Amino acid sequence: MSDNISLTVIQTNVSSSWNVYDKFLFFQTLNDIIIFPIYFYLYLCITLFSQISVLLLVIFKTPVLFKDFRIFLINSSSLQIAMCLVVVFTQVRILPNPNSTGYLFSGPCRFVHKNACFFGLDFFQLVFDASSFAIPATLYYKYSKVTNINGKDLSRNRVRLILVSSYFLSIIVGVIYVITYSPDESVEVSNETRKQFYREYDFSRYAEVTGYQTHFWSSLTNNLNMLSIYIPPVMSIVFIRFIQIKLNGLKHLFTDKTAAQAKKFDLALTIQTLVPAVCVIPVYTSHLVIERYQFWFMPDFEKILYIMLSLPTAIDAFIVIITITPYRNAFLLFFAGIFCYSKPTTPLPPSRRINNSVATSLF
């Protein structure tokens, strides 16, 4: 009789534990397959709307005098559109193992090809690196223009060099990805990840697990990619400060209105710098701590990581539209026409030269 009671208790405990396991597995899969995709597709619509609007405004509404500045805006917007598409395409979750890092994909890439998700994530990292350094590159161009305000315009080669400099880190990391790629490495990572997380995830619902084992090259690329998180905000703040100091020394060249518009533009650049810093640095730092000390109390944190990495792409375009006067006026005028709302608009002031320098009242 006692043995039968013990057996019943054991069976009840096992059944209860499996119920908890099944519930956890269900909600994890529900989050990845249904809940998170809702966010990603809303993010896709908002980002494409804002970034395509910026591209059209930059192409058709940028004054001729600022054609070089237009190149930097097109470069930044194009990178952010590419980042948005790849994020939605992959929808990755990082799974840290003792000897490797696995990637679990729940995006549409799982319906394309077994390697589409893996190469898509590598491409995302390269685009993210270039996009992060695009803002400091734009600010350095702005600083170069301010320092040569009474001299000759920057040469085309110098403008191209400043633009290409934002891709320097991406090129280095891309070369390492190519020369160190090994299909067998992903197989080993997949086996370790499945063994480590077999209770947490229904792997049949995801793309094939891929990733990198822990070795010199993977550590090197991780450290290089880390530079794109922490270095660009510092560079941007330094350039913004240099620009402000230089403009303060040139106050006698500008009218009060021009000076006010220049301050407004500096504020926009500061916001563009702070948004990625606020969205990315705290989350990525937390990711490093969790990965280092293996805290498992936030099972969805690794999914939120890539959400926050890409979030600035949805915000940045609206900053450009709001703070650059010709773009804002054209944007509001377009939608006023769509909704049959008419309001007298003040014509844009023509570009003018004051003491042999181009006025910046357009910004």
Instruction: Indicate if the pLDDT at residue 49 is higher than 50.
Output: yes
Stretch 304-332: mean pLDDT: 84
Other CB atoms within 10 Å distance of the CB of residue 98: 8
- In this structure, what are the phi and psi dihedrals at residue 100, rounded to the nearest 5 degrees? -165, 175
Cα–Cα–Cα angle for 295, 103, 26, rounded to 5 degrees: 70
Handedness of CA 353, 359, 361, 362 (dihedral sign): positive
325-349: b (≥16 Cβ within 10 Å) or e: bbbebbbeeeeeeeeeeeeeeeeee
Distance (Å, whole) CA 125 – CA 82:
11
Amino acid letter for position 326: P
pLDDT for position 361: 36
Q: Using an 8 Å Cβ cutoff, are 305 and 94 in contact? A: yes
pLDDT for position 163: 93
pLDDT for position 344: 47
Bridge-based pairing state of the strands 210-213 and 353-354: unpaired
Nearest to 118, CA basis, from 191, 46, 17, 187: 187
Distance of CA 211 to the CA centre of its chain: 21
Stretch 54-77: mean pLDDT: 84
Kindly list the domain boundaries of the chain, sorted by start residue: 14-358
Question: Which one-letter DSSP state was computed for residue 348?
Answer: P
SS3 state at 282: helix
Distance (Å, whole) CA 113 – CA 276:
32
Task: Tokens 């008419």: give the residue.
Answer: 342
Stretch 139-151: mean pLDDT: 80
Instruction: Indicate if the pLDDT at residue 66 is higher than 80.
Output: no
Non-local CB neighbours of 217 within 8 Å, separated by 6+ positions: 176, 180
Instruction: Indicate if the pLDDT at residue 269 is higher than 60.
Output: yes
Instruction: Indicate if the pLDDT at residue 353 is higher than 50.
Output: no
pLDDT for position 94: 85
Nearest to 262, CA basis, from 358, 330, 329, 333: 358
Instruction: Indicate if the pLDDT at residue 70 is higher than 80.
Output: yes
What is the token pair recorded at 176? 């390492």
pLDDT for position 354: 43
Amino acid letter for position 2: S
pTM, full prediction: 0.81
Tell me the pLDDT tens digit for each residue of 75-100.
Answer: 999 999 999 999 999 998 888 888 88
The CB-side HSE value for 91 (13 A sphere, CA atoms) comes to 25
Stretch 115-143: mean pLDDT: 92
Cα–Cα–Cα angle for 321, 303, 307, rounded to 5 degrees: 5
Tell me the pLDDT tens digit for each residue of 15-32.
Answer: 444 455 555 555 666 667
pLDDT for position 35: 78
Distance (Å, whole) CA 55 – CA 229:
25
**With respect to CATH, is domain 14-358 assigned 1.20.1070.10?**
yes
Tell me the pLDDT tens digit for each residue of 173-222.
Answer: 999 999 999 888 989 999 999 998 887 788 888 888 999 998 899 999 98
SS3 state at 95: strand
Q: Using an 8 Å Cβ cutoff, are 100 and 188 in contact? A: yes
Instruction: Indicate if the pLDDT at residue 244 is higher than 70.
Output: yes
Helix (H) or strand (E) holding 274: helix 256-293
Non-local CB neighbours of 253 within 8 Å, separated by 6+ positions: 149, 354, 355, 357
Query: Rounded mean pLDDT of the chain?
Result: 79
Which of 18-32, 261-275, 349-363 is the least confident region? 349-363
Which of 46-60, 84-98, 288-302 is the least confident region? 288-302
